[in-house]
């Protein structure tokens, strides 16, 4: 007979007893499965995995030689959304898009597979949208780009194909055009407005240096295509580099030369091209403001020489930093330590994470090592109730990490997938419950992971920061999606949880409002009122020390905390363990 047991808070055994063998008999030198499965349930907000269990095996209790053995074990909860993963038939080449593309109030996951299809699937049940999948003539190269909402609420998407064509399609799965590029394509497209008065355009650079700029009907923009005369394997970034109100295409060639192309003329602006780096790069560029002026800077991570460059808008070097390893991911910008200042994040291929100030100096404790190779550009979110954001990325052993600035992993991480995780994740609240959801592929499947912790901010939500794939973290292109998603009024998970003796409860207010936050026991009785006051907009944090309104300590157990503000109301759980 076997008995599975645990005293872990938040876990309830449903079927804890089972027998083994034929009629309860197991013979010497043989093995047997349990005749009935063990079953248990957990609260949705279970804060810490893996869960410790003990399996107690007993036999021959009434005989001369009774058998009794306690086997400790740990079980990990599966956070993969029901109905996922989706079999892509091989390695998907691009980061997903998460958006409500049919305006039904539910977000979809848009991605490519190796069967030459574009998938648009409901995040909660994996059902396909009408008109999808879109069947293509060849697999997709790089990530799909998405436009802003059109006048009718629809979206336009663009992709580069391995047969060297550019394809555009809409929210209904209708192909708008296919355009031969005339040369090998090694990177995905960009969709962006190029001037305030302009419609969005699709831009793709081919390996032989031909820059294609097309409207949504497949017509070339004036002065395009243009030849840049070098080899290119990385898509352009888009930013106003000289402050004239017109966007430029920023392109790094394989030989390390940098072009900054005026989008209206198709020619380099004054001072470019330049010999920018010692060695080229297969990593995307990031545009950001790194210093005290209002001009944009360019971040470049070279692939083989392991150098991080920060270049001023005129091409001069702001700083150069040796990473001491090859780099197969792109630099990003995010506030990871909640000091209201952005930091630069770069991950070397040897698994070392560098977080540095905008002048290139390392933060204390750098680098942080995950002990395995990394090819995945990170994304960044705040979701675990602490002041530290999670730097989320995959490694070549199939683990999805969320590493914080102190070197620890966020609760529930790393998450084990089945293969090399080298494509950037996409982040969102997919199902409207306020929790973080992650869409990410390994080398054979696409996953949607439902992290049972509320989002308090998305610092860098997808590959290249926005779904237009502009790489622009400084001055968003006209009418672009924001890189840091605005979060409305929300109550977040207590941290730590379980706790003893204190825990912090965070919440966000979209605007100034009256707020109450009350703690209740399992009987629904009021235990403590933490606040009932008018507060300004923004993030707030309260501390509960495990006492009631009279200052008396309360017993261990499950407690609920409820926040009310205007029409908003939310209740969450926490566990006091003494």
Residues 45 and 108 in one domain: no
Residues 500 and 520 in one domain: yes
Same domain for 408 and 379, yes or no, is: yes
User: Does residue 47 have a pLDDT over 50?
Assistant: no
* Res 483 pLDDT > 60: no
pLDDT at 305 > cutoff 50 = yes
**Residues 160 and 183 placed together within one structural domain of the fold:** yes
Residues 416 and 528 in one domain: no
pLDDT of res. 49: 60
Residue-wise pLDDT tens digits, 386-410 = 778 999 999 999 999 999 999 999 9
Residue 483 CB partners (closer than 8 Å, separation 6+): 459, 460, 461, 465, 466, 472, 473, 476
**Domain contains 41:** yes
Q: Higher model confidence: residue 284 or residue 41?
A: 284
Residue 218 forms part of a structural domain: yes
The rounded distance, in Å, linking the Cα atoms of 283 and 253 is 11
Residue 482 pLDDT class (50, 70, 90 cuts)? very low
In a domain? residue 473: no
How far apart (Å, rounded) are the C-alpha atoms in residues 376 and 252?
Answer: 20
Asked if residue 447 has pLDDT above 50, the reply is: yes
List, as one string, the DSSP characters of 506-520: EEEESSSEEEEEEEE
The first and second tokens of residue 122, run together, are 């409901």
19, 44, 75: which is the final residue of a domain?
75
Is 231 within a domain? yes
Would the pLDDT of 46 be above 70?
A: no
Residue labelled with tokens 């460059």: 309
Tokens describing residue 330: 């792109």
- With a cut of 80, say whether residue 300 has pLDDT above it: yes
Is pLDDT at 283 greater than 70 in this prediction?
Answer: yes
Asked, for residue 30, whether it belongs to a domain, the answer is: yes
Domain count, the chain: 3
The answer to whether residue 475 scores a pLDDT higher than 70 is no
Same-domain check for residues 69 and 90: no
- Choose the most confident range, by mean pLDDT, from 15-29, 357-371, 442-456: 357-371
Q: Among candidates 504, 519, 503, which has minimal Cα distance to 564?
A: 519
Does residue 136 share a domain with residue 64? no
Q: How confident is the model at residue 179 (pLDDT cuts 50, 70, 90)?
A: very high
Q: Which residue has the higher pLDDT, 328 or 126?
A: 328
Task: Please give the C-alpha separations between residue 272 and each of 250, 251, 261, 269, in angstroms, as whole numbers.
Answer: 10, 11, 8, 6
Neighbours of 472 (CB within 10 A): 27
- Dmax of the chain from CA atoms? 94
Residue 69 confidence (pLDDT) above 70: yes
pLDDT digits (tens, 9 = 90+) for 488-544: 687 877 878 888 899 988 888 888 999 999 999 988 899 999 999 999 988 888 999
Same domain, 237 and 382: yes
- What are the structure tokens assigned to 216, written together? 């949504």
Three-state SS across 5-23?
Answer: ECCCCCEEEEECEECECEC
Residue 89, classed as helix, strand or coil, is coil
For residue 343, what pLDDT is reported? 96
**Of all residues in the chain, what percent carry a pLDDT higher than 70?**
94
Residue 548 and residue 530: Cα distance in Å, rounded?
10
Residue 486 has pLDDT above 60, yes or no: no
How far the first Cα of the chain sits from its last, in Å, is: 33
Position 477 scores a pLDDT of 44
Strand order in the sheet with 379-382: 415-416, 399-403, 390-394, 379-382, 457-460
Residues 296-317: what's their mean pLDDT? Answer: 95
* Average of per-residue pLDDT across 379-390: 86
Q: Are residues 235 and 378 in the same domain?
A: yes
What whole-number distance in Å separates Cα of residue 173 and Cα of residue 157?
10
Q: Is residue 471 part of a domain?
A: no
Supply the mean pLDDT for the chain: 89
DSSP class of 514: E
Which has more pLDDT, 157 or 104? 157
Report the Cα 485 to chain-centroid distance in Å: 12
56, 75, 94 — which closes off a domain?
A: 75
Which pLDDT band, with edges at 50, 70 and 90, does 29 fall under?
low
| 458 vs 42, higher pLDDT | 458
**What pLDDT, on a 0 to 100 scale, did the predictor assign at position 490?**
78
Confidence of residue 297 (pLDDT cuts 50, 70, 90): very high
Based on the domain organization, do 143 and 179 belong to the same domain? Answer: yes
CATH code (residue 553) = 2.60.40.4070
Classify the phi-psi angles of 255: left when phi > 0, otherwise alpha if psi is within -120 to 50, otherwise beta: alpha
Residue 92 belongs to domain with CATH number: 2.130.10.10
Q: How confident is the model at residue 28 (pLDDT cuts 50, 70, 90)?
A: low
- Report the range of poorest mean pLDDT among 25-39, 127-141, 192-206, 219-233: 25-39
Report the 10 Å Cβ neighbour count for 114.
16
What gap in Å lies between CA 235 and CA 461, rounded to an integer? 19
User: Is the same domain home to 370 and 281?
Assistant: yes
386 lies in the same domain as 287: yes
Average pLDDT over residues 284-300: 93
- Look up the domain containing 516 and give its range: 490-576
pLDDT in the model for residue 339: 85
Task: Answer yes or no: is 485 within a domain.
Answer: no
More confident residue, 71 or 506: 71
Q: How many CB atoms lie within 10 A of CB 83?
A: 14
Q: Last residue of a domain, which of 20, 45, 75?
A: 75
Q: How confident is the model at residue 44 (pLDDT cuts 50, 70, 90)?
A: low
Tell me if 314 is assigned to some domain. Answer: yes
The whole-number pLDDT of residue 484 equals 46
The predicted model gives 375-383 an average pLDDT of 94
pLDDT at 316 over 90: yes
- 199-243 pLDDT, tens per residue? 899 999 999 999 999 999 999 999 999 999 899 999 999 999 999
């Amino acid at each position: 007979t076997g008995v599975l047991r645990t005293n872990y808070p938040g876990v309830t055994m449903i079927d804890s007893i089972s027998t083994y063998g034929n009629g309860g008999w197991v013979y010497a030198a043989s093995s047997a499965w349990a005749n009935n499965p063990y079953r248990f349930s957990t609260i949705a907000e279970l804060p810490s995995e893996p869960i410790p269990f003990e399996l107690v095996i007993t036999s021959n209790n009434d005989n001369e030689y009774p058998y009794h053995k306690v086997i400790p074990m740990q079980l990990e909860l599966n956070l993969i959304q029901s109905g996922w993963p989706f079999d892509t038939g091989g390695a998907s080449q691009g980061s997903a898009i998460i958006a409500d593309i049919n305006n039904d109030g539910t977000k979809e996951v848009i991605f490519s597979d190796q069967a030459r299809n574009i998938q648009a699937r409901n995040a909660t049940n994996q059902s396909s949208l009408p008109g999808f999948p879109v069947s293509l003539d060849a697999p997709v190269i790089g990530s799909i780009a998405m436009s802003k909402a059109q006048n009718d609420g629809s979206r336009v998407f663009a992709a580069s194909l391995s047969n060297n064509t550019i394809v555009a399609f809409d929210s209904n799965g209708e192909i708008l055009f296919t355009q031969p590029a005339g040369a090998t394509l090694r990177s995905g497209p960009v969709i962006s407005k190029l001037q305030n008065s302009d419609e969005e355009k699709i831009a793709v650079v081919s390996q032989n240096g031909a820059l294609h700029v097309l409207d949504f009907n497949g017509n070339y923009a004036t002065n395009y295509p243009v030849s840049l005369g070098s080899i290119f394997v990385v898509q352009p970034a888009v930013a106003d580099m000289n402050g004239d109100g017109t966007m430029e295409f920023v392109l790094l060639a394989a030989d390390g030369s940098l072009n900054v192309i005026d989008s209206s003329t198709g020619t380099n602006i004054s001072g470019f091209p330049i010999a920018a780096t010692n060695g080229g790069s297969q990593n995307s560029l990031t545009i950001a403001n790194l210093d005290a002026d209002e001009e944009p800077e360019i971040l470049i991570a070279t692939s083989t020489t392991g150098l991080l460059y920060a270049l001023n808008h005129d091409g001069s070097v702001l700083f150069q930093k040796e990473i001491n390893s090859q780099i197969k991911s792109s630099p990003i910008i995010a506030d990871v330590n909640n000091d209201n200042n952005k930091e630069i994040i770069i991950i070397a291929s040897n698994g070392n994470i560098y977080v540095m100030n905008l002048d290139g100096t390392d933060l204390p404790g750098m680098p942080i090592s995950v002990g395995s190779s990394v090819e995945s550009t990170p994304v960044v979110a705040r979701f675990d109730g602490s002041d530290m954001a999670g730097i989320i990325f995959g490694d070549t052993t199939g683990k999805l990490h969320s590493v914080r600035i102190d070197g620890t992993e966020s609760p529930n991480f790393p998450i084990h997938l089945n293969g090399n995780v080298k494509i950037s994740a996409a982040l969102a609240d997919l199902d409207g419950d306020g929790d973080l959801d992650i869409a990410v592929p390994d080398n054979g499947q696409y996953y949607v992971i439902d992290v049972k912790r509320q989002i308090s901010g998305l610092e860098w939500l997808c590959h290249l920061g926005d779904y237009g794939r502009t790489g622009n973290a400084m001055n968003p292109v006209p009418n672009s999606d924001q890189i840091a998603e605005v979060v409305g009024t929300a109550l977040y998970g207590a941290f730590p949880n379980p706790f003893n003796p204190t825990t912090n409860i965070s919440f966000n207010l979209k605007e100034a409002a009256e707020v109450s936050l009350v703690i209740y026991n399992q009987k629904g009785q009021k235990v403590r009122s933490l606040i009932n006051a008018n507060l300004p907009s923004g993030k707030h944090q309260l501390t509960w020390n495990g006492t009631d309104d009279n200052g008396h300590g309360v017993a261990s157990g499950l407690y609920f905390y409820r926040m009310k503000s205007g029409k908003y109301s939310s209740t969450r759980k926490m566990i006091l363990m003494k």
